[in-house]
Chain A
């Protein structure tokens, strides 16, 4: 069992204990669980399959060539776009980041890519955000957070001017 699931299980156990102590009425909780489960799971199955195929179709090497140090500031929008089109969880996203790193992508480009993916990952928007919060929240969040990966990349460039801290490991 993974550490993540274990943490969640411990949290659930603590909450259940608390709820029983407080003599909570479990009806509304069960109702909300079933409603959210119905909203999420069927869509999730299809979106997962679609995302798996898209991940296979992404031209990783071609993108990596655009992320090198010689690309300069241009690497940032490319890295953001690459983060946008990786519609998959961390397994695939970080495997791709490792490919980028091995092909010579600059540190700011990698920071931008990972940050853009973590904010915009399309599968998360489709599977969780739209069903649970709706389109108006999505619009608000995208407009508010669009600058974030660019700012992260720019800050990383500034750090890079001062020191070479932050080089990725190339173990893969």
Chain B
């Protein structure tokens, strides 16, 4: 099979590594160290070890999700009917496109690893800026899974319902604003679409 040739390319692996451990990685590492020192100085060593232990628990919880979420996004990336997506949430989709994006955001399962990976897929498939903003805003504010797992047990069903109701129209408003903002949008990986030229019949 030739489609796995990239795995043998030393240059490709070097690109992955330099991307993974680039400047921003070291920036994050420095921030982690700095805030750790600050925490030690202000709160004491017990808080530092508490925080590290909680981080570890979170990580154990998070890694399987990241694996599965990225696999899902990668599969959708190659399988998605791009032409149809563009018609559904593309530039000429109007308010209906924003409503579709909002619904999709509300039902997207999983945490940010799946939502942002899917957002990148959408961005690469011709969704317009309003739909992208509406999608991720809806996932953040209306995500049903988050509301059921977190809002309801922590804050009560009544509060969760109120928050859901007042947030319901807001992703669409954000999408409408996004369509009018004069910002040049350069999405990271729209260039490297997989070479899959499906006959556009």
Instruction: Please report A residues at the B interface, Cβ cutoff 8 Å.
Output: 2-5, 7-9, 11-12, 15-16, 18-19, 22, 24-50, 52-57, 89-91, 94-95, 97-98, 101, 107, 110-111, 114-115, 118-119, 124, 126-134, 136-137, 139-141, 143-145, 147-148, 151-152, 155-156, 159, 165-169, 172
Q: Are B50 and A25 in contact (CB under 8 A)?
A: no
- Closest residue to B55 on the A side, CB-wise? A52
Q: Are A115 and B47 in contact (CB under 8 A)?
A: no
**Of A29, A46, A141, which contacts B74 at CB under 8 A?**
A29
Q: Are B76 and A34 in contact (CB under 8 A)?
A: no
Query: Given the complex, which residues of A lie within 8 Å of B48, measured CB to CB?
Result: 53
Q: Are A11 and B72 in contact (CB under 8 A)?
A: yes
Instruction: Please report B residues at the A interface, Cβ cutoff 8 Å.
Output: 1-7, 16-17, 19-21, 24-25, 28-29, 31-32, 34-36, 38-39, 42-43, 47-48, 50-52, 54-55, 58-59, 61-62, 64-66, 68-79, 109-114, 116-117, 119-120, 123, 129, 132-133, 136-137, 140-141, 143, 145-146, 149-151, 154-156, 158-159, 161-163, 165-167, 170-171, 173-175, 177-178, 181, 183-189, 194-196
Query: Given the complex, which residues of B lie within 8 Å of A89, measured CB to CB?
Result: 58, 111
Q: Are B186 and A136 in contact (CB under 8 A)?
A: yes
Query: Given the complex, which residues of A lie within 8 Å of B39, measured CB to CB?
Result: 53, 56-57
For the complex, give the distance between the alpha carbons of A133 and B188 in Å: 5
Q: Are A53 and B36 in contact (CB under 8 A)?
A: yes
Q: Are B109 and A7 in contact (CB under 8 A)?
A: yes
- Nearest 9 A/B pairs, CB to CB: A27-B3, A166-B162, A169-B156, A28-B194, A46-B28, A53-B35, A155-B166, A128-B116, A144-B178
Q: Are A143 and B116 in contact (CB under 8 A)?
A: no
- Classify the secondary structure of A's interface with B: helix
Query: Given the complex, which residues of A lie within 8 Å of B35, measured CB to CB?
Result: 50, 53-54, 57
Q: Are A152 and B137 in contact (CB under 8 A)?
A: no
- Closest residue to B118 on the A side, CB-wise? A132
Query: Given the complex, which residues of B lie within 8 Å of A26, measured CB to CB?
Result: 3, 78
